[in-house]
């Protein structure tokens, strides 16, 4: 971008003009058809799959959202959204514009946070996503230790709250997830801990070690649903082992899965941290290593690799310290065969 020319200091300075009134989308966008607020409206329409949900998210009326999009399209001289299709779809230009828009909003937010850090030594708000097993165990202590980093915290959990797309779409600033981020560009990937998967069975059950099919014949297999982090990974492991288990019970939380096991209704495959998050006594279950071994998950902190990399590394270091001193010893009691379950 070409920098503006520097004016001669001898030039007579014009009288300062009055600050323009903020744009009121309800009354028309005028010439301000490409400001950050309107871009934010457009991005919300795309992410929320329509103007109604976008209006709810932004606290606007649907009419105001529609006028904002119309003002942008008029100013651009191009259509962003193909309204002839249901559901609405982006035009070719709209797709390109959306990709640039979310990058612009990301950089705008980084600049806002940088200024805020300079002025207040803390972020105005930090939006964080954590997988549920981490949020329920390490989360409270971690947030207490890093509370001074931000004036306000917004913490979510679950699959939608810890998806890498939340970072890309600017809904989140940092996530702690067990997802593999692959080749996602410009993302900082900081591993926190590895833990093995294990068999969890009712206490007192005579478990045939090393034979999942015999175990499945003795008691039903209690599954994690496909919409969870663990479900697809466990299903892939079973396919790799050539094991077919009847589908009878399926749940979307560790609490529900392990409550069923504790009641003696079946057995499950999960991780030690998922057991520990339930707040039940670990000795109420029987644990066995998985045949073939090697099935594990890595919890990692993921954020944009930009101005605040030092903050994300500080959060990562704090989380690893808490895990090492408070939770790794408990994980090793559940899965002593797992070897050195240390921070990567």
Give Cα 103 distance to the centre of its chain.
18
84: left (phi over 0), alpha (psi -120 to 50) or beta: alpha
Confidence grade of residue 23 (pLDDT, cut at 50, 70, 90):
very low
pLDDT digits (tens, 9 = 90+) for 78-130: 899 988 887 788 998 988 898 888 888 877 776 776 665 554 557 888 999 99
Last residue of a domain, one of 86, 110, 134: 110
Distant-in-sequence, close-in-space partners of 35: CB < 8 Å, separation ≥ 6: 23
Helix 92-120 / helix 36-47 crossing angle, nearest 10 deg: 120
- 215 and 270 part of one domain: yes
Task: Report if residue 21 sits inside a domain.
Answer: no
Distance between CA atoms of residues 82 and 96, nearest Å: 14
Task: Report if residue 19 sits inside a domain.
Answer: no
Distance between CA atoms of residues 46 and 42, nearest Å: 7
- 272 and 240 part of one domain: yes
- 318 and 173 part of one domain: yes
Task: Report if residue 49 sits inside a domain.
Answer: yes
- 186 and 62 part of one domain: no
Q: What is the CATH number of the domain that holds 283?
A: 3.40.190.10
- 202 and 289 part of one domain: yes
Distance between CA atoms of residues 237 and 233, nearest Å: 6
| Two structure tokens written together for 91 | 């035009």
Distance between CA atoms of residues 181 and 174, nearest Å: 13
Report pLDDT for 99. 86
- 182 and 309 part of one domain: yes
Task: Report if residue 152 sits inside a domain.
Answer: yes
- 149 and 79 part of one domain: no
pLDDT digits (tens, 9 = 90+) for 236-274: 999 988 888 888 889 989 999 999 999 989 999 999 999
- 323 and 275 part of one domain: no
Q: What is the CATH number of the domain that holds 98?
A: 1.10.10.10
- 277 and 311 part of one domain: no
Can you point out the beta strands (E) in the chain? 81-82, 89-90, 126-130, 153-157, 174-177, 187-196, 198-202, 222-224, 249-251, 268-270, 285-289, 296-304
- 316 and 304 part of one domain: yes
- 290 and 246 part of one domain: yes
Helix 62-76 / helix 51-58 crossing angle, nearest 10 deg: 110
What is the number of domains present in the chain?
Answer: 3
For the entire predicted model, the pTM comes to: 0.65
Structural domain boundaries, residue 152 = 121-194+297-333
């Amino acid at each position: 971008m070409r920098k503006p020319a520097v004016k001669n200091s001898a030039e007579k300075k014009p009288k300062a003009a009055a600050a323009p009134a903020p744009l009121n989308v309800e009354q028309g966008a005028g010439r301000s058809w490409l400001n950050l607020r309107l871009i934010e409206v457009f991005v919300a329409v795309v992410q929320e799959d329509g103007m109604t949900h976008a209006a709810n998210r932004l606290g606007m009326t649907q009419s105001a959202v529609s006028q904002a999009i119309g003002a942008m399209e008029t100013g651009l001289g191009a259509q962003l959204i193909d309204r002839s299709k249901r559901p609405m779809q982006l035009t070719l230009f709209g797709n390109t514009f959306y990709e640039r828009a979310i990058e612009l909003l990301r950089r705008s937010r980084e600049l806002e946070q940088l200024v805020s850090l300079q002025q207040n030594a803390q972020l105005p708000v930090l939006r964080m996503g954590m997988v549920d097993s981490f949020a329920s165990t390490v989360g409270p202590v971690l947030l207490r230790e890093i509370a001074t980093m931000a004036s306000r915290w917004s913490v979510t959990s679950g699959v939608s709250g810890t998806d890498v797309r939340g970072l890309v779409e600017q809904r989140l600033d940092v996530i702690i997830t067990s997802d593999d981020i692959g080749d996602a560009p410009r993302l900082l990937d900081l591993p926190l801990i590895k833990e093995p998967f294990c068999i969890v069975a009712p206490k007192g059950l005579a478990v045939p070690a090393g034979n999942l099919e015999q175990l499945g014949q003795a008691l039903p297999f209690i599954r994690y649903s496909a919409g969870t982090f663990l479900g697809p990974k466990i299903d892939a492991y079973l396919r790799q082992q050539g094991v077919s288990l009847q589908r009878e019970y399926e749940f979307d939380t560790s609490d529900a899965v392990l409550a069923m096991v504790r009641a003696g209704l079946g057995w499950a495959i999960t991780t030690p941290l998922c057991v520990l998050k339930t707040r039940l006594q670990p000795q109420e279950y029987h644990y066995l290593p998985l045949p073939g071994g090697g099935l594990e998950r890595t919890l990692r902190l993921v954020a944009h690799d930009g101005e605040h990399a030092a903050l994300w590394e500080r959060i990562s270091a704090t989380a690893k310290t808490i895990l090492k001193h408070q939770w790794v010893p408990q994980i090793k009691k559940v899965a002593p065969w797992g070897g050195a379950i240390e921070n990567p």
